[in-house]
Amino acid sequence: MARKSDFDLAAELAKPSFTPAQRDAPALVELVVGGEDPAAERAAVALAALGDAGRAAIEARLAGNAKIPDEALDAGELSAGATARLVGALGLGARRGDAIARSAVLARSRDPEVRVRRAAILALGKLGGDDARDALLARWDAHDVTPDERRALAEALGKVGGDAALTRLRALDPGDDAELARRRDRALLMADRTAKRGDESSIATDVPPPSALAVRLRCKSGLAPLLREELGTLGIAAVANRDDSVDLTLDRPWSTLYRSRLWMSGAIRMPLASDEPPAIVDAITAPRVRELLRAWTRGPIRWRLSFIKGHKRAVVWNVAKDVTARAPELVNDPTQTTWDIHVDEGALELSPRRADDPRFAWRVTEVAAASHPTVAAALAFVAGARDTDRVWDPFVGSGSELVERAQRGRFGSLLGTDLDDAALIAAHENLESAKVTAVLTNADARSFAPGPVDLIITNPPLGSRVKVDAAKLLVDALPNFARQLAPDGRLVWITPATKRTTPVAEKLGLHLAQTYAVDLGGVRGQLERWDRRSVR
pTM given for the model: 0.76
Q: Which amino acid, residue 19? A: T
**pLDDT, average across residues 290-310:** 92
Residue 302 makes CB contacts below 8 A (sequence gap 6+) with: 193, 201, 331, 332, 333, 336, 337, 338, 339
What does the alpha-carbon distance between residue 43 and residue 66 come to, in Å, rounded to a whole number?
24
Burial class from Cβ neighbours inside 10 Å (0-12, 13-18, 19+) for residue 50 reads buried
Q: Residue 180 above 80 pLDDT?
A: yes
**pLDDT, average across residues 471-489:** 96
pLDDT value at position 59? Answer: 94
Model confidence pLDDT, tens digit, residues 270-286: 999 998 999 999 999 99
What does the alpha-carbon distance between residue 320 and residue 158 come to, in Å, rounded to a whole number?
15
Ranges assigned E (strand) in 177-252: 202-203, 213-218, 238-242, 245-250
Model confidence pLDDT, tens digit, residues 403-422: 999 999 999 999 999 999 99
Cα–Cα distances (Å) from 116 to 38, 65, 139, 456, in that order, read 21, 12, 13, 68
Q: Residue 171 above 90 pLDDT?
A: yes
* pLDDT interval class at 64 (50, 70, 90): low
Per residue, the 3-state secondary structure of 428-450, as one string, reads HHHHHHCCCCCEEEECCCCCCCC
Instruction: Give the H/E segment covering residue 467.
Output: none
Cβ–Cβ < 8 Å for 317, 373: no
**pLDDT, average across residues 72-83:** 71
Instruction: Give the H/E segment covering residue 128.
Output: none
Cβ–Cβ < 8 Å for 284, 269: no
pLDDT value at position 498? Answer: 95
Burial class from Cβ neighbours inside 10 Å (0-12, 13-18, 19+) for residue 394 reads buried
Q: What is the dihedral angle through the alpha carbons of 482, 486, 492, 498, rounded to the nearest 10 degrees? A: 20
pLDDT value at position 200? Answer: 86
What does the alpha-carbon distance between residue 355 and residue 254 come to, in Å, rounded to a whole number?
9
Q: Residue 467 above 90 pLDDT?
A: no
pLDDT value at position 190? Answer: 81
Per DSSP, 496 falls in state: S
**Strand pairing partners for 298?**
202
For a pLDDT cut of 90, what percent of the chain falls above it?
Answer: 77
pLDDT value at position 186? Answer: 84
Residue 307 makes CB contacts below 8 A (sequence gap 6+) with: 275, 315, 342, 343
Residue 298 makes CB contacts below 8 A (sequence gap 6+) with: 200, 201, 202, 203, 204
**Overall residue count recorded for the chain in this entry:** 536
pLDDT value at position 535? Answer: 56
pLDDT value at position 71? Answer: 41
Mean residue pLDDT across the chain: 91
Of the given ranges (8-22, 181-195, 222-236), which has the lowest mean pLDDT? 181-195
What does the alpha-carbon distance between residue 530 and residue 515 come to, in Å, rounded to a whole number?
9
What does the alpha-carbon distance between residue 439 and residue 259 come to, in Å, rounded to a whole number?
27
Return the higher-pLDDT residue of 185 and 64: 185
**pLDDT, average across residues 161-181:** 91
Model confidence pLDDT, tens digit, residues 418-447: 999 999 999 999 999 999 999 999 999 999
Task: Compute how many other C-beta atoms are within 10 angstroms of the C-beta atom of residue 493.
Answer: 28
Nearest CA among 379, 428, 41 for reference residue 223? 379
* pLDDT interval class at 93 (50, 70, 90): very high
What does the alpha-carbon distance between residue 272 and residue 286 come to, in Å, rounded to a whole number?
10
Task: Using alpha carbons only, give the angle 109, 115, 120 rounded to the nearest 5 degrees.
Answer: 30
Cβ–Cβ < 8 Å for 55, 93: yes
What does the alpha-carbon distance between residue 109 and residue 459 come to, in Å, rounded to a whole number?
59
Model confidence pLDDT, tens digit, residues 13-56: 998 888 999 999 999 999 999 989 899 999 999 999 999 999 99
